[in-house]
Structure 1
């Protein structure tokens, strides 16, 4: 499990104030034909093989007791994280994740619930292996569905990785314009495996990046931000990651279209730094080791206010983010 590196806590404050703010939405994805890569057959993996069909994911539930990582006995603590994946885009291109369509979000119901994260880059930008691994699939999805339907990802590559904890995870790279690896081969972290494109159902040129526990099963995704190492800021300091859970009195996940994360203690001349994110939709998987329903990465270290509206009340909590670490926040509220 993860080693505790710091601990702090603050009380939960309740206010009977409602609030609202605009949320940017995008139109539903349009379909476009996949690129000209030939269809391939998925190689056997270290896990048991399954028929390549997509099973619906169960509604997310929790036990009534709030979860916390090992050694984190309170609602907010700082832990080392599990950042063993590199960015699949080089530092010379756009390495940041699109914040408007994070894992588990749907842009307030305007799009399908997102099973990964997006890296918007120019057509032809090199795509890199996020870790050492084996190529278990390199082709398109014309005949085999890796999502709710075929022609969804277009050209894609799936890599199998041995995790630092002696497990197995798979990374998926979709909408490629070019595939530069051979199925059955091995790759090293940072190796070029393809090029950014807009094949399948892509809206614009970008890389769709996923982490899965089963390469064939769309319902076994995990939030990539739990594994991708945070970037550094302009001063070379590692940025931070915030993850956590919002649950009600019965232990069920709370779904909110607007969780506000605001950096505090900024100089007066600095513009406010606020992030507006959705918590996970009901039919998206959490990591069993974290039991989270929100994650946000690449945040400046410092003090933050986390707030949302629940049953007409404004709830807020104050936390501290530490460079290169993961801050975990577990809030259970009364109905």
Structure 2
């Protein structure tokens, strides 16, 4: 469900989701859906209305009683409770300019306020009104709601007990080692990585350690090859997910050995390439779906660095934890204007701390699957053969951050700086000062 994505109008409840707007007038006994043309072909509930894209970010009721829904590439307004919609397009996007996706409410006055506390600053009361379209740089979505874009030095506190000592800046950005590949989803679609279930994440211990990253998109969204190469697998894989795998032309040489690089794309509704086909970076190879073990329409991407070209070591329908996959966020270029953070968390015996939670980063997007903390890898995940990291995260806005993690009951803080297009390396140890 999207933030600010649920409200009632009389006896009718509207819920904004990545699969359209769900509508019930009998407390959930029956449902209808507001969706796009692709969603209408697969919807299990009656279609109540049509919008141009089923991937919705939020829905609001204006003072006039009209409904406004925000979705990929635009907004729509309805004067009849959601049965018919008038589309309003957002400014066009391009791969060189990733624009903010805030709703552009231009005809109605809509305002609210909130109070927040920033590190080293008094409480701030924020008042916002949608009188004109929101422009890039004016506001950002955060865990606290929609706020004016703040400076790097006004990052929200970890908690009152963590913010008593601000460490010196110890981790500076440098060139990344192998962000050689492009995104599998175009920037004109929903190209943000899901922040609730990143590589190595268990969602607080509720799920298996994740083996890749997710790009939530509507059914039928084009999937692009992240680099040049040859298709080595095309068909059903683990749990029946329609899957394509590519062995890339580029190889990695590290520690006096050569590793072959592969990308794997799961859950597609349709596969457009066959084994043996050559593909170029950016070429459309499949369409997003929810086949296999999937709860919603999305692409699951994996990147493998293997000492072998044996495709069964990369994709095997009977293997849930492949032996050579690594964190894709270290291989695909971060979004324009953002950087990467990677590092290690060690205990007092010099052993990695699995599933540790690192707090302090702020990532405004994606709002519908918001970022809360970094989780270190567990025994089912593999570190990158170059970095040997315990965690990595991309698409981080530039600025200075205070990161904190608890090791053996001790809170360990580090002050880092993130720069666009670069990687910041940071280590946490309980005996460090």
TM-score normalised per structure 1: 0.67
1:104, 1:208 → 2: CA distance? 13
SS of aligned partner of 1:303: strand
1:295-314 deviation line (CA, Å, top 9, x unaligned): 11111111011101222222
SS of aligned partner of 1:114: coil
Partner of 1:254: 353
Residues 1:211 and 2:298 aligned together: no
Partner of 2:294: 202
1:159-215 deviation line (CA, Å, top 9, x unaligned): 001336464200000000000112101000000000000001111000000011344
Residues 1:229 and 2:325 aligned together: no
Residues 1:83 and 2:179 aligned together: yes
Residues 1:108 and 2:204 aligned together: yes
The Cα of 1:274 is off from its aligned counterpart by 7.2
2:324, 2:288 → 1: CA distance? 24
Higher radius of gyration, 1 or 2: 2
**Larger RCO: 1 or 2 (CA < 8 Å, sep 6+):** 1
Gaps of 5+ in 1: 1-73, 142-149, 233-237, 265-272
Partner of 2:340: 241
SS of aligned partner of 1:216: helix
Superposed counterparts of 1:32-181, under 5 Å: 76-81=171-176, 82-141=178-237, 150-151=238-239, 154-163=241-250, 165=252, 167-181=259-273
Residues 1:324 and 2:416 aligned together: no
1:162, 1:78 → 2: CA distance? 29
Q: Retained in 2: the 8 A contact 1:263–1:303? A: no
2:332, 2:344 → 1: CA distance? 19
2:305, 2:201 → 1: CA distance? 20
The range that moved more, 156-165 or 188-197, is 156-165
More strand by share: 2
Q: Aligned-pair RMSD on alpha carbons?
A: 2.2
TM-score normalised per structure 2: 0.53
Q: For residues 250 and 288 of structure 1, do their structure 2 counterparts lie closer, same or farther at Cα, with a shift above 3 Å needed?
A: farther
The Cα of 1:279 is off from its aligned counterpart by 1.0
2:274, 2:198 → 1: CA distance? 30
SS of aligned partner of 1:151: helix
